[in-house]
Amino acid sequence: MQDLNDKITGGTLTAAEFNQPMSEIQNLIEALGQTLSGGDLNQLGKGVAGYAANGSFYTDNGVANAYTLTTIGGKQAAPNYSDGIVVMFSPNNTNTGASTVNPAGLGVKSIKTQDGLDPGAGVIVSGKLIMLVYRLAFDWFEILSFGGAGLADANIFTATQTWAKGADLTTADVVSGVLTLGTDGNTFNFTGTDTITSIAGAAVGTTFKINFGAAANLTNHATDLILLGGADITTAAGDWAEFFVYAVGDVKMTNYSRAAGISSLLAETTVSGSAVTSIDFTGLDINTHKSYRVEVEWINGTASSSALYPFFNGDTVATGYYSQEVQASSTTVSGSRENTPRSAVSSATSRTKVTMHISRDTDGWAIVESRSNRTLGSAITADLYTVSRTTTLTNITQLTLTATVASSLSIGTKARIYRGDL
């Protein structure tokens, strides 16, 4: 409209000058759907009230993640961006991640949460009202309220909550060890056998689940991919894992369910082909696994009695250990101590069952508590041993079971080691 200040000449306005403010008033009245009437002198007020009631409501004509808004009817939009502009609309499409909005052609602006983060998938939901406010200081719109997933308010579930099933993930979705999730769900099937070192594609705060269809290799990492137990996992068909994105690029496993059930068995071996003197278990980490249980079904096929020594981390010097024995035979109980790690004895040509519990205390002392039988039937004896190193250890990464008689771990001898944190 023309600036009419100081435009009066000779006490009059020209017709064109007079009609400009009248046209402005008429346009406001008619934009709200009113028909001009000389009998209703409240039409201007009604028009102003109409703008105040729903002047911030828009129609969405955009696509997912890029919402293009138009005013309703003949209403006018704000001429430019200013702090505090509010827009409300009903989206035609649910967002799958970071999103933008362009109200009435004012220009494309990012949509953020009140923490300044991109909205996660499903926050903006098709058919659910959303309200945004423009923040001039950041040049973006912030979400005030919405009908999608919760942000600041607590959610109270009163009905079944469904996890969206995304498209299956394959080897093609793994690049340089990084598995990238789709944006179409938070539950996925992964059919590949790849080595996975990190998982991308989900926003911070997202929980997601993966069903593995084959033997993939998950590699533990201190920040990128923290696995249960802090150890690598080889999956099997039918295994399920749940993860939480706790920081940008950082994912932590929160649950793992094996199709065959949870097993604490780390390794097992059976002597075959020919008798041996030692059995090695490597790749251990007692700081993670907390403790170990070792079971040995010992067949001594030699003509000599043999003792079994547990050695740690390749230190096979017997005098670096002490053992205390308590033996019970019928009503006789005796004890002895020696400067070796003896934890069991098997008589000549006999079978001996040995069970060891291995731990390391907070000061670093490695302890073996062992129980075994020396003979069977009416001549059965019970042996209890406690073994300690003479120096402390920062970790146990290897266990070597060594017989004192060469090749007295005969064919058929079995040894298993279980981790203590499962």
pLDDT at 36: 78
How many secondary structure helices (H) and strands (E) does the chain include? Answer: 3, 30
Instruction: Decide: helix, strand or coil at residue 328.
Output: strand
Positive or negative: CA dihedral 68, 74, 78, 84:
negative
Is CATH 2.60.120 the right assignment for the domain spanning 265-419? yes
pLDDT at 64: 93
For the chain, 422 residues long, give each residue's pLDDT as a single digit of tens.
555 566 555 567 777 777 777 777 777 667 666 787 777 777 666 666 555 555 578 999 999 999 999 987 767 777 889 999 899 999 999 998 999 999 989 999 999 988 888 888 888 888 889 999 999 999 999 998 766 544 445 566 666 777 889 999 999 999 999 999 998 889 999 999 999 999 999 988 899 999 999 999 999 999 999 998 788 898 989 999 999 999 988 999 999 988 876 668 889 999 999 999 999 999 999 998 899 999 999 999 999 999 999 999 999 999 999 999 999 888 899 999 999 999 999 989 989 999 999 999 999 999 999 999 876 677 788 899 999 999 999 999 999 999 999 999 999 999 999 998 76
SS3 state at 230: helix
Alpha-carbon gap, residue 213 to 41, rounded angstroms: 74
pTM to 2 decimals? 0.46
Residue 182, CA distances (Å) to 34, 91, 96, 167 in order: 50, 22, 9, 7
What are the residue ranges spanned by the domains of the chain?
A: 15-54, 57-146, 171-257, 265-419
Rounded Cα distance between 130 and 147, Å, is 6
The pLDDT value given to residue 44 = 66
pLDDT at position 152 is 47
The pLDDT score that the predictor gives to residue 71 is: 83
- Residue 409 CA to residue 275 CA, distance in Å, equals 6
Residue 403 CA to residue 400 CA, distance in Å, equals 10
What's residue 11's pLDDT?
A: 61
Q: What does the DSSP 8-state code read for residue 12?
A: B
pLDDT at 336: 94
